[in-house]
Amino acid sequence: MSDPARSVEFRGGGFVAQRKRGVGLMVFIVLLLLAEWGTRTGFISALTLPRPSDVLLTFQELYQSGMLFKHLIPSLTRLVIGAAIGATIGITVGVLIGLFSLARAGLVPLVAAIFPIPKIALLPLFVIWFGIDEMSKYALIAFGTFTPTVVATYAAVDNVDRTLIRMGQSFGLSWRSIVAKIVLPGAMPGILSGLRISLTIAIILLVAAEMLGAEYGIGAYILQAGSLYDLERLFAGVVILSVLGVVVSGVIGAVERRVLRWRV
Amino acid sequence: MDLRLDNVSHHYGDTEVFRDISLEIPSGQIVCIVGPSGCGKSTLLRMLGGLEQPTSGRVLQLGAPPQGCLNPLTYIFQDFALLPWRSVRGNISLVLEDHKMTPKAREEIIADVLARTKLSEFADALPKQLSGGMKQRVAIARALAVNPAVMLMDEPLSALDSQTRELLMDDLISLWTRQPFTAVYVTHNLAEAVRLGHKIVVLSRRPGQIREVVSLETPLAERRYGDASLEAQQQHLWGLMRDEAAAADAELLHV
Ligand SMILES: Nc1ncnc2c1ncn2[C@@H]1O[C@H](COP(=O)(O)OP(=O)(O)OP(=O)(O)O)[C@@H](O)[C@H]1O
Ligand SMILES: [Mg+2]
């Protein structure tokens, strides 16, 4: 009993996602400073990586010449319309698969068959079907958003707590009420995390579609810069895409925090 | 409105769950069902509420449900089954929204059941903010809101600690004394059965059959925690259960 007292070692904690503001920003800043320092000292040659400050200057030019919005607005329009079509159809089909065994039996193999097709490879087909202009781009983006959304949605519907559904039935709720008030809200977390992935895929496909045939758009801008080996402009375009990705992720995060406040 | 089970038997594939159960659930009484694990108590309760169909036999509803009854057969679940994304008020409102009534009438029902279950202050809380006992009180309030003819309760208190259980049992007794309701109450806990039951049905091990039906005459309000005559009844029930439970255990060893 003469052993010295020692406090019990803490070994709990962790494994919980916490909000830490500013850390993400710090990572970006540190990487940029490293690149700036490397290119200035000659540690990184100008051919390998453009200097971040030069990219910033290019970006400024782009903004001042008014070309930024000339490229950005058509791109955003394509992204929003295409992703909205794809996500809407995807969520609808996913819910149908989740609710009806017949839809599941018929559509799950089909979805599995089209999931691994690189959608970019189908662009010529879409051009034939929908014409060279905007429709084919919407279709490509929508198609690419559709498949991951379907899979995420029906998995989310499958995961809704069955005891809650039995509860709804035992209180005599109508089928519509059960779907609208129990199944859909219960599937919401899974649907939102599916959207995180499918919207990112939509950005990738946006660029691909614009590279193949568009006068304006971020993809077209990057393609032009790339064919001239103009690394500053290429990177300015890439930065826009990255910012777009961060914005999409941020928007979904904000929606999740609002809609999923009830989660423990 | 009474309920009657008429020679009900049920199989799941090759497993015979229970055999030839006939039972009367008279209105205004609480019928407790006890029995060893796996003897089909939950299945029986699902049949009473129409969530499952028996292989043979009939589940009968005798007489019409009383006026103003929105959902004659209403469950209270062991795991509460509250929608986590709805507040206490929203969870109760859920079961009223499919019925034609003015928003004002709905608000009145909600306020009334919240007051009866002493939850008025927590109307806007989300389930995650409530303790287990409070969650079950919300589930009870939700069941009361549809003015059920028969309440079907499957081990409603077994997810709770023993103090909360005592408190909720007192709540149930005072709810019943103020306004007698009909209930079928499945439990593992013999103390609960002798506190709440007018009739206690003891089932045998699987395939479940009725071993004995014990009737208790002491009015609910006069039953006290640790009452000697209740204690004696509980001993008697435990005698019946012990043999069944031991035999069920021994069977498991032989599979
Ligand atoms: N959907 C089902 N399909 C197949 N077998 C089932 C199903 N539901 C229950 N069973 C079986 O039927 C038997 C009775 O189950 P039930 O849940 O009704 O028992 P119980 O008396 O409520 O048990 P406990 O006291 O553990 O809650 C068990 O052996 C169980 O394995
Ligand atoms: Mg059970």
The pLDDT value recorded for residue B254 is 61
Supply A166's token pair: 């039995």
User: 3-state DSSP call for residue B12?
Assistant: strand
Mutate to test the interface with A, among B71, B77, B83 (most CBs of A within 10 A): B83
Please, which pLDDT band fits residue B255 given cuts at 50, 70 and 90? low
Supply B202's token pair: 């003891």
**Mapped to the 3 state alphabet, what secondary structure does A121-178 carry?**
HHHHHHHHHHCCCHHHHHHHHHHHHHHHHHHHHHHHHHCCCHHHHHHHHHCCCCHHHH
- Does A159 touch chain B if contact means CB atoms closer than 8 Å? no
Which positions of chain A have pLDDT values less than 70? 1-2
Q: Do A225 and A233 form a contact (C-beta atoms < 8 A)?
A: yes
Which residue's CA lies nearest to atom 31 of ligand 1? B38
Q: Do A173 and B79 touch (CB under 8 A)?
A: no
| Separation CA A206–CA A137 (nearest Å) | 7
Considering only the beta carbons, identify the residue of A167, A177, A186 that sits closest to B97: A177
| Separation CA A221–CA B195 (nearest Å) | 79
The pLDDT value recorded for residue A97 is 96
How big is the CA angle at B152 (ends B87 and B181), to the nearest 5 degrees? 95
Question: How large is the average pLDDT for residues B19-40?
Answer: 91
Distance B159 CA to ligand 2 centre (A): 12
- Does A162 touch chain B if contact means CB atoms closer than 8 Å? no
Q: Is the pLDDT of residue B248 over 90?
A: no
The pLDDT value recorded for residue A15 is 83
Which residue's CA lies nearest to atom 10 of ligand 1? B12
The pLDDT value recorded for residue A123 is 85
Q: How many residues does chain B have?
A: 255
Task: Find the helix or strand (DSSP H, E) in which B30 lies.
Answer: strand B30-34
Q: Do A169 and A197 form a contact (C-beta atoms < 8 A)?
A: no
* CATH class for the region spanning B2-66+150-253: alpha beta
The pLDDT value recorded for residue B30 is 94
Q: How far is A151 from chain B (nearest CA, A)?
A: 24
Domain boundaries, chain B: 2-66+150-253, 84-148
Contacting residues for B248 by C-beta, under 8 A, at least 6 apart: B36, B37, B38, B39, B205, B206
Torsion of CA B189, B190, B191, B195, to 10 degrees: 110
| Separation CA B31–CA A62 (nearest Å) | 79
- pTM surpassing 0.80? yes
The pLDDT value recorded for residue B146 is 93
Give the number of other CB atoms < 10 A from CB of residue B147. Answer: 18
The pLDDT value recorded for residue A1 is 57
- Does A241 touch chain B if contact means CB atoms closer than 8 Å? no
The full set of domains in chain A, from first to last, is 49-263 (1.10.3720.10)
Supply B165's token pair: 């259980």
Q: Is the ipTM of this complex over 0.90?
A: no
Q: Do A244 and A206 form a contact (C-beta atoms < 8 A)?
A: no
Which residue's CA lies nearest to atom 5 of ligand 1? B12
The pLDDT value recorded for residue A2 is 65
Q: Choose which residue among B8, B11, B42 to substitute to test ligand 1 binding: the one with the highest number of ligand atoms within 8 A of its C-beta.
A: B42
pLDDT digits (tens, 9 = 90+) for B67-84: 888 999 999 998 999 999
Please, which pLDDT band fits residue B135 given cuts at 50, 70 and 90? very high
Q: Do A141 and A209 form a contact (C-beta atoms < 8 A)?
A: yes
Order of all β-strands in the sheet with B15-25: B15-25, B2-12, B56-62
Q: Is the pLDDT of residue B251 over 80?
A: no
Considering only the beta carbons, identify the residue of B51, B83, B128 that sits closest to A182: B83
Local structure of residue B66 (DSSP, 8 states): P
Q: Do B74 and A170 touch (CB under 8 A)?
A: yes
What average pLDDT does chain B have? 89
Place of tokens 């990738």: A204
How big is the CA angle at A195 (ends A194 and A196), to the nearest 5 degrees? 90
